[in-house]
């Protein structure tokens, strides 16, 4: 009976010793995750800034393209008013600094051939003659931070061409 009792005590001591050694090991690794986070923080910050800058560039590109479409849509109703088309385009993107718009109208064959600017003369077509309006917008995007291998300013352009009638 006594040997069993001694073996239980020894097992208990061994377990207690292992427990203490695990706690000591955990105490030595307690600040490891903080050190790893401190080492990764600059890379995570750089990644976050890159995502923000790329998102801003994408947003400005969408705004420039939508502004061209808005100007052309205005031109379908008022195809002789090129100034109104330009104002509609620049007014559609008020938060894009330095946006410019160019508007034209003309006539062309319905298959896209024989384009005549301002419809001064009718094109000769074997198919129908249609009027069109075209608005081209452009803006310059400047990055927030200089990125290696990427230019600090990007020229963004949008264009829309719609038929204005027959």
Give the model confidence (pLDDT) of 67-116 as tens digits.
999 999 999 998 889 999 999 999 999 999 999 999 999 888 888 788 88
Least confident of 6-15, 62-71, 92-101: 6-15
What confidence tier does 4 reach under pLDDT thresholds 50, 70, 90?
Answer: low
Query: Angle of helix 32-77 relative to helix 82-92, nearest 10 degrees?
Result: 160
Whole-model pTM: value is: 0.74
Q: Report whether pLDDT(37) > 60.
A: yes
How many whole angstroms separate alpha carbon 140 and alpha carbon 135? 17
pLDDT at 26: 59
DSSP classification of residue 78: -
Average pLDDT score, the chain: 84
Task: List the structure tokens of 150.
Answer: 């990427």
Residue showing tokens 């301002």: 118
What confidence tier does 145 reach under pLDDT thresholds 50, 70, 90?
Answer: confident
How many whole angstroms separate alpha carbon 48 and alpha carbon 122? 56
DSSP classification of residue 94: T
Secondary structure of residue 132 in the 3-state scheme: strand
How many whole angstroms separate alpha carbon 11 and alpha carbon 146? 64
Is the CB of residue 43 less than 8 Å from the CB of residue 37?
Answer: no
């Amino acid at each position: 009976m006594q040997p069993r009792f001694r073996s239980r005590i020894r097992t208990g001591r061994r377990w207690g010793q292992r427990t203490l050694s695990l706690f000591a090991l955990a105490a030595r690794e307690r600040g490891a995750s903080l050190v790893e986070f401190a080492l990764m923080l600059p890379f995570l910050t750089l990644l976050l800034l890159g995502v923000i800058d790329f998102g801003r560039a994408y947003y400005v590109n969408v705004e420039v393209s939508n502004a061209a479409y808005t100007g052309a849509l205005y031109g379908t109703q008022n195809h002789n008013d090129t100034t109104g088309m330009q104002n509609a385009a620049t007014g559609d993107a008020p938060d894009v600094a330095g946006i410019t718009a160019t508007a034209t109208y003309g006539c062309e064959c319905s298959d896209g051939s024989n384009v005549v600017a301002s419809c001064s003369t009718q094109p000769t077509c074997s198919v129908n003659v249609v009027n069109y309006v075209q608005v081209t917008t452009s803006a310059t995007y400047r990055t927030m931070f200089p990125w290696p291998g990427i230019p600090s300013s990007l020229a963004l352009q949008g264009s829309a061409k719609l038929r204005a009638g027959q």
